[in-house]
Amino acid sequence: MNEGVEWALHSCLNLAWIGEDRAVTAARLAAYHALPTAYLNKQLQALARAGIVTSTPGPKGGFRLARPLERITLMDVVTAIEGPDEAFRCAEIRKQGPGETPHTGHELPCAFAESMAKAELAWRRELAACTLADVRKRAEKRAPGARDTLRRWFENS
Q: Where along the sequence are the contacts to DNA (CB under 7 A)?
A: 2-4, 25-27, 36, 38-39, 41-42, 44-45, 48-49, 55-63
What angle (nearest 5°) sits at the alpha carbon of residue 41, between those of residues 36 and 42?
105
Choose from its own copies, DNA, none: what does 151 bind? Cβ within 5-8 Å by kind: none
Residue 142 touches its own copies, criterion: CB under 8 A: yes
Binders of its own copies in range 7-66 (CB under 8 A): 7, 9-10, 13-14, 31-35
DSSP 6-43: HHHHHHHHHHHHH-TTS-B-HHHHHHHTT--HHHHHHH
Q: Which residues contact 55 (CB under 8 A, 6 or more apart)?
A: 44, 45, 48, 61, 62, 63
DSSP 77-105: HHHHHH-SS-SS----GGGSGGG---SS-
Q: How far is the CB of 4 from DNA (least distance, A)?
A: 5
Q: How far is the CB of 118 from its own copies (least distance, A)?
A: 6
Q: How far is the CB of 34 from its own copies (least distance, A)?
A: 3
Number of residues that bind its own copies (CB under 8 A): 59
Single out the residue of 21, 59, 99, 155 in contact with its own copies (rule: CB under 8 A).
99
